[in-house]
Each structure stands twice: as C-alpha cells, then as structure tokens.
Amino acid sequence: ETGVTQSPTHLIKTRGQQVTLRCSSQSGHNTVSWYQQALGQGPQFIFQYYREEENGRGNFPPRFSGLQFPNYSSELNVNALELDDSALYLCASTGGASSYNEQFFGPGTRLTVL
Amino acid sequence: GNSVTQMEGPVTLSEEAFLTINCTYTATGYPSLFWYVQYPGEGLQLLLKATKADDKGSNKGFEATYRKETTSFHLEKGSVQVSDSAVYFCALSGNAGGTSYGKLTFGQGTILTVHP
C-alpha cells in the first residue's frame, strides 16, 4: 500500500509568483485535505476535496485554490505569493476503508517565498 | 469555532522520566480527539486517538483519556526515551454530521526533548 506522497519536497519562489503543489493520496482514499504549517505553529486547515468537489474551507483567501482529479490526487495552487505564505504545506488523505476521521499525512512541501 | 490549547513548551526531560503534555479543547458536540507526532524533518504521524468521552487512546507507551467534563485530552507516558524527542500536536475533528467532521484543528505543538 502506497502512502501519501507530495511533490516537490522544497520550493523557492519570489513574492508575486504563483505556485502549484501536488499530492497523491493513499490507495483507496477519496478525500484529500491541505494544511499550512508556519514555522513553530500547528497546521492550519486550508481546504478539503471529496470526489473532486471542495468540501469545506478554512480561513484562507481565494488566491489559495485547489483541484482534485479522478484518481483522487490533488493540487494546491497559490497565486500572488506573499512572504507570509512561506510554510510547510501538508496534504492528508482519508476515506475508503479507513475511518473518515483518521487522516494520513504526507511528508510535506517546504515553500519559501523571498 | 473549534480550538485546541496545548501547554506552552518546550519540555525537557531526562530519559525514563514521566511525561505529561496538557491539552484542552473547545468544540460543540462530541469531537474526536487526536495526538500527532512530528519527528525532525518529517510529516505528521498519528500517535493515538479517542472518539468518545472516557475513551483511552494508547500507542507506544503513550496514553490519553478523553475527558468531556474538563474538555481535556492530556498526553502521558510513564518512561520517556531519547527517541521520543519530537513535536507533539493535540488535534480535534468535529463530530459526525457537522461541517468540521474530518477536518482537523490543531494546537500549537509542544517540543519535547529527552536527554540521556
């Protein structure tokens, strides 16, 4: 069984640019959630996708957007990057035979905005 | 809205010492409660969970009991090891049927360092 994978591992962008982060969910999982973890803080919920539809959103501006594909992999897009967007972005998947409450996290993508 | 408060850290202990990390929460209904651990340079791993009042979650010598009356879910371990050094996060997910079901709210994390 393949776990949750994320790419890239690290990314450096400049302010104003756009970025796309990718996540492959664990086999059998149909729900993907994205979290932002600033340095020294707990993860903050960005949004969740269930069967290709957004299923809840946290307190993040519209320049944070996402997609989920038919194979349940997902993308997080951030437009007009700001310095405060520098963080570890975590993807988590759940669903299928797993308890819906039990989320499995990927290793994260470290985004640095200069 | 939902919130989780963890004891302010960091926590530094000697090997074989007793560990307690406090966690309290605010939520409506009956949330599920979790402890996640994050080792240096890695993502989050689920350590233990409890889904209803008075449930005790346990794993790798760690335990936490869901206390509805005190809205708490304190993490304990009787004898810590150097390998337990990590960041520990308390989290909750709203009850089934609610809008926050399956979406985690995390505390700020507690850094644990265990010395030999």
pLDDT beyond 60 at B7: yes
Cβ-based neighbours of B86, under 8 Å, separated by 6 or more: B37, B38, B39, B40, B112
In whole angstroms, what separates CA B14 from the centre of its chain? 20
Mutation target for A interface from B44, B93, B95: give the one with most A CBs within 10 A: B44
Cα(A58)–Cα(B35) distance, rounded to whole angstroms? 21
| Run of H or E including B19 | strand B19-21
pLDDT beyond 70 at A1: no
- The residues that bridge with A5 in the sheet, in sequence order, are A24
Cβ-based neighbours of B114, under 8 Å, separated by 6 or more: B12, B13, B14, B15, B17, B80, B81, B82, B83, B84, B85
Cβ–Cβ contact B108 with A under 8 A = yes
Cβ–Cβ contact A66 with B under 8 A = no
Set of chain B residues whose Cβ sits within 8 Å of the Cβ of A60: none
Rounded to the nearest angstrom, the minimum Cα separation between B27 and chain A is 16
Average pLDDT value for residue range A82-93: 96
- pLDDT-based confidence at residue B28 (cuts at 50, 70, 90): confident
Strand A19-24 relative to strand A10-13, pairing: unpaired
Task: Decide if B44 and A43 are in contact by the 8 Å CB cutoff.
Answer: yes
Looking at residue A96, what is its pLDDT? 63
Residue of B42, B89, B102 with shortest CB distance to A31: B102
User: If you measure CA to CA, which chain A residue comes closest to B88?
Assistant: A42
Residue of A33, A104, A107 with shortest CB distance to B103: A33
pLDDT digits (tens, 9 = 90+) for A25-38: 988 888 999 999 99
Mean pLDDT for chain A overall = 92
Rounded to the nearest angstrom, the minimum Cα separation between B80 and chain A is 23
Average pLDDT value for residue range B68-97: 93
Average pLDDT value for residue range B42-65: 94
Rounded to the nearest angstrom, the minimum Cα separation between B102 and chain A is 5
Average pLDDT value for residue range B21-27: 96
Mutation target for A interface from B104, B108, B111: give the one with most A CBs within 10 A: B104
Average pLDDT value for residue range B52-75: 96
